[in-house]
Chain A
Amino acid sequence: MFSDLSLPFLSSGLLLLIIGAIICAPCFQLRSPRRIALGFLGLALLLFLAAFLKIHSQEEKIYLDPLLPWLETDAVDGLPLVVFTLVAILSVCLAPRRDVRDSSLLGILVLVAGTTLIYTSAHWVTLNLGWWLTCLPFVTGMFGPSEDRKHTSIALIASAVMLTIATVLLHASQVSSLSTISHASLVFFLLAVVMRKGLFPLHSWTLRAFESGPLLPKSLLFNSHLGALLVARAETSHLPEFAHQALYGLSLLALVTALITSLRGLTEKKPRRLMGLVCISQASFILSGLLASNSAGIMGGMLHWTVVALASTGLIAVVRILEVRVIDVADPTAHLGLAVRAPRLATFFLLSGLALVGLPGTLGYCAEDLLFHGVQDHHPVMGVFLLIATALNAINLMRLYSVLFLGVLPKNVIEIPDALPRERWPLTLLVMILIAGGLYPSLPISLRAKAVKTFHLSSPDASHHE
């Protein structure tokens, strides 16, 4: 079951991110910190990709890092780590200049390092350490002053505290794995998931985080999908029966979140909040899929994880790019008609958004097809509600698109540049990945097949057979 990686890919990748964070600190006064950060992130991506390819090609379930055995990678978290690092690279690349000044890059790299630590953690200590590390940039205000800092920090710290209590309770009962988890520990564990994932009724902090403050770091925070990762880890840990029932409750909560946020979007007017609602709603589908207890649902959830990460990054990046060009984007009083001046940005926005809500020909369509089939098999009514939520999200997305890009161009917007080469190439890459994945979905499905198998081996039915 356990094996060592041939090279210390994980520890080296993590080390690179930490070194990058230190070098990008404002005290070093670098001339081009963005390029240096991109270099470190690129090298880390290559190392994580190598680790993932190793897992994918071998039969072993879990690979430990030869240098730091507290770090591991497996089929479930290997690809999401690669995707997350790619998303981080794209975010740094697409960030407007004002967003990579001062300590912002340091904050982003610390956030990525913390998330990497969580993804690769083989021990509760590293998991908790990573969890706290991801809170650090927001709590210490590395992304500059913002109105939401207090609320975001409280929510993140609360989630970290819940996880720490769950860990302490787990260790107090001399248990190191989730397979013999106690009721009390499970409650705190689930609370950590609900807080971090932003499930109803605790979703408003995520919405508020979207509403104000730095958008791209929030996108990275949102797209780490740590709540989903915890659930995936729990589902692959031979949980006791009562824990499975609790997770079923969690999947219902995810469904309620998806539906309520999609409904809420109908009356929302501010672009950031509307975009936040669409992203939260679509991200809630991931949990419904992962907890569907069948291959189609789990695979759908996993593919949707990738789709949400990539597509929401595209959406958020375009909105941020527009914000720095046109002041009215923050709170438009009428349609802005920006497609006339920025047709490429409009296209990137539309394609990313439609991929997020499952446009045929994109990876989002395959993910949602599998997800709905899986959820429908598991619970037909839930499946119908997910369909309604997707339909409403698509309407919300088109509303947002029409407010930003269609209509009469305001007279005060004289001239704004369309996507610059620095923005155009990463956005094209992002859209290409989504389209290529949609036209040839067998590749992403084969890359996640081993993870689905891991889920099956840990399901209650498989345990009974054993």
Chain B
Amino acid sequence: MNATPLFFVILGLPLATFLLLGISWMLGFSVGEKCIGLTIKTIYAVMFLAFLALSWQLYQDADHSIEINMGHWFVLDHYEYPMSFQWDAVTMPFAGLTIILSGIVGSFSITYLHRDPGFLRFFLLLVLFSFGALLVFTASSLDLLIAGWELVGITSVMLISFFQYRPEPVRNALRVFATYRVADLFILVSVFLAHQWFGAADWARFREIALDGSVAGVSPVMMTIFPILIVFAASGKSAQGPFCGWLARAMEGPTPSSAIFYGAISVHAGPYLLLRAEPLIRQSSVATGLLCFIGLTTAVLSTMMQRISTDAKTSLAYASQTQLGIIFVEISLGWHTLALIHVMGHAIVRAMQFLRSPSMLSDYHRLHSGAGGELRATGAHYDRMVSDRWQRILYCFTLFRGFHDAFWDRLLIRPLFFIVRLVEKIELSPSKDKRPQQSGASSPELPVRAKRETI
């Protein structure tokens, strides 16, 4: 059987569902919970079957890699935006995880979000996320990966602010979005540089360059800058290094979204990108060292922060961050298979932990009674390894999240706002300090309860 229709089912179903449900809602039609639930279960079941069929084809393929070329998204003279996809040993586990875990989380959420006002919104975002994540994991070039990368980012932010009537999720969603945008700059710059320096931005080209060792017109500086940009882009998505502050803030969203985004799929897009760009990263010792350093420092800091967290979801978020740091180190050391296995195992376990986190107390009591009413605290040997003074110092250090937020506030945000105020002062605007007189908006006849005839 041809791989293209199967692949089309996997990638097209979530997008079609999103468009169909979204447009019908925009036009004023209402879709019931039962219908949404049935649709979600059906599409993920069909996608899973298509995934199995495609994986079987991959197993039978001599090269263990299926190329799916759908032409170009658009072409202009010499510039082409390729619509080519790849299904290989790296793609398959990530895509499989996305389909299976999204399906499980979808099924779980039908009950979890029953009668929630944002029921439809959640599932719209879930299918859009699935489409974005599958685009990331199946794209054969950075160009196409970016499209999925940004969709994953925006759906993530929308789900953090899912409970929009509370101020904290709203504030944190904005902070996460700003972090994402800054981190995305690295991948955007890298794709433009890849086109300029290497002539293309697809994985095959990266492997070619890595095999050749030296390419005409590509200097060692370029071979260092490009992987560094990729490392920072991956760090942004996986909450590592300079971007490690956002993951705990992202826990404001509903538990199923935390499971799929921050336990299972979204945060692992960073390691996926690193695995794809690994041939180029390995060419630069600076980039490899940076990757190892970022992973190691984040893992150490996060594991300490996890130990002082007082709520289950934040603790799980830091635990995720720790594991991701270790995965980064594994990739930097060239242990790709181990990293891949680690990603799979971590994603499944963490998703389960997140989904069970609302029932944690119940689970504890069950375990407690199962153990005969005696459960002793673990980890006392760690306390004995570190002196009381150092314990206090480390406690303060981790309590302030390693002074991470304060550092970036002083180094980046305050200087930026200082510049903005400077620009504001030189702007030729005579009215900026005055309150505007809105025509209509502030007219005296305007009631609080808007009169329909004036709208």
The residues of A with any CB-CB pair to B shorter than 8 Å are 96-99, 143-148, 151, 201-202, 204, 207-208, 211-214, 260, 263-264, 266-267, 270, 272, 295-296, 299, 321, 323-327, 329-331, 335, 337, 339-340, 343-344, 347-348, 354, 359-361, 365-366, 369-370, 372-373, 376-377, 380, 383-384, 387-388, 391-392, 394-395, 398-399, 402, 405-409, 412-417, 420-421, 424-425, 427-428, 431-432, 435, 441-442, 445, 449, 452
Contact B167 A331 (CB under 8 A): no
A151→B432 CA distance, assembly (Å): 13
Contact B423 A260 (CB under 8 A): yes
**CB-CB nearest in chain B for A422:** B455
Contact B146 A370 (CB under 8 A): no
Given contacts A266-B420, A330-B441, whether A295 and B79 have CB atoms under 8 Å apart is: yes
A211→B73 CA distance, assembly (Å): 39
A424→B428 CA distance, assembly (Å): 38
Q: How large is the interface on B (under 10, 10 to 19, 20 to 34, 35 or more residues)?
A: 35 or more
Given contacts A213-B439, A327-B441, whether A299 and B76 have CB atoms under 8 Å apart is: yes
Contact B192 A376 (CB under 8 A): yes
A409→B166 CA distance, assembly (Å): 10
Given contacts A370-B76, A408-B166, whether A424 and B27 have CB atoms under 8 Å apart is: yes
**CB-CB nearest in chain B for A366:** B74
Contact A388 B437 (CB under 8 A): no
Contact B441 A323 (CB under 8 A): yes
Give the Cβ gap from A302 to chain B, nearest Cβ, in Å.
11
- In the complex, which residues 410-455 of chain B have their Cβ closer than 8 Å to any Cβ of chain A? 416-417, 419-421, 423-424, 426-431, 435-442, 446, 448-450, 452-455
- In the complex, which residues 338-355 of chain B have their Cβ closer than 8 Å to any Cβ of chain A? none
A361→B423 CA distance, assembly (Å): 34
**CB-CB nearest in chain A for B170:** A406
Set A329, A366, A415, A428: member contacting B26, Cβ < 8 A: A428
Given contacts A270-B436, A376-B192, A424-B28, whether A325 and B450 have CB atoms under 8 Å apart is: yes
Contact A144 B439 (CB under 8 A): yes
Contact A204 B26 (CB under 8 A): no
In the bound complex, residues from chain B placing their C-beta under 8 Å from that of A299 are 76
In the bound complex, residues from chain B placing their C-beta under 8 Å from that of A435 are 19
In the bound complex, residues from chain B placing their C-beta under 8 Å from that of A212 are 431, 436-439
Set A98, A266, A365: member contacting B440, Cβ < 8 A: A98
A325→B73 CA distance, assembly (Å): 41
A347→B117 CA distance, assembly (Å): 15
In the bound complex, residues from chain A placing their C-beta under 8 Å from that of B221 are none
Contact B148 A360 (CB under 8 A): yes
A383→B174 CA distance, assembly (Å): 26
Contact B164 A407 (CB under 8 A): yes
16 pairs of residues in contact across A and B, judged by CB atoms under 8 Å: A201-B426, A263-B416, A266-B420, A267-B421, A295-B76, A296-B77, A329-B441, A330-B442, A337-B164, A395-B177, A408-B167, A412-B448, A417-B450, A420-B455, A428-B23, A441-B74
B151 interface residue (CB < 8 Å to A):
yes
Set B121, B146, B173, B195: member contacting A360, Cβ < 8 A: B146
Given contacts A344-B26, A395-B181, whether A295 and B77 have CB atoms under 8 Å apart is: yes
A267→B416 CA distance, assembly (Å): 10
B154 interface residue (CB < 8 Å to A):
yes
B390 interface residue (CB < 8 Å to A):
no
In the bound complex, residues from chain A placing their C-beta under 8 Å from that of B442 are 327, 330
In the bound complex, residues from chain B placing their C-beta under 8 Å from that of A321 are 455
Contact A445 B74 (CB under 8 A): yes
Set A330, A369, A384, A421: member contacting B28, Cβ < 8 A: A421
In the bound complex, residues from chain A placing their C-beta under 8 Å from that of B81 are 366, 369
In the bound complex, residues from chain A placing their C-beta under 8 Å from that of B161 are 402, 406
Set B79, B165, B188, B452: member contacting A340, Cβ < 8 A: B165
Set B167, B178, B450: member contacting A324, Cβ < 8 A: B450
Given contacts A212-B436, A295-B76, whether A360 and B147 have CB atoms under 8 Å apart is: yes
In the bound complex, residues from chain B placing their C-beta under 8 Å from that of A330 are 436, 438, 441-442
B 171-195 binary contact with A (CB < 8 Å = 1; else 0): 0011001100110110011001001
B150 interface residue (CB < 8 Å to A):
yes
**CB-CB nearest in chain B for A299:** B76
A136→B401 CA distance, assembly (Å): 59
In the bound complex, residues from chain A placing their C-beta under 8 Å from that of B154 are 354, 359
B40 interface residue (CB < 8 Å to A):
no
Known: A325-B455, A330-B441. 5 other contacts (CB 8 A): A260-B423, A394-B181, A406-B170, A408-B165, A428-B27
B214 interface residue (CB < 8 Å to A):
no
Give the Cβ gap from A379 to chain B, nearest Cβ, in Å.
12
A387→B225 CA distance, assembly (Å): 17
In the bound complex, residues from chain B placing their C-beta under 8 Å from that of A263 are 416, 419-420, 423
B75 interface residue (CB < 8 Å to A):
yes
In the bound complex, residues from chain A placing their C-beta under 8 Å from that of B157 are 398
In the bound complex, residues from chain B placing their C-beta under 8 Å from that of A347 are 22, 26
- In the complex, which residues 57-72 of chain B have their Cβ closer than 8 Å to any Cβ of chain A? none
Give the Cβ gap from A434 to chain B, nearest Cβ, in Å.
13
In the bound complex, residues from chain B placing their C-beta under 8 Å from that of A412 are 448
In the bound complex, residues from chain A placing their C-beta under 8 Å from that of B417 are 266-267
Given contacts A327-B442, A373-B192, A398-B174, whether A387 and B185 have CB atoms under 8 Å apart is: yes
A347→B124 CA distance, assembly (Å): 12
Contact A387 B454 (CB under 8 A): no
Contact B26 A409 (CB under 8 A): no
A413→B173 CA distance, assembly (Å): 24
In the bound complex, residues from chain A placing their C-beta under 8 Å from that of B192 are 372-373, 376, 383, 387
In the bound complex, residues from chain A placing their C-beta under 8 Å from that of B196 are 376-377, 380
Contact B450 A384 (CB under 8 A): no
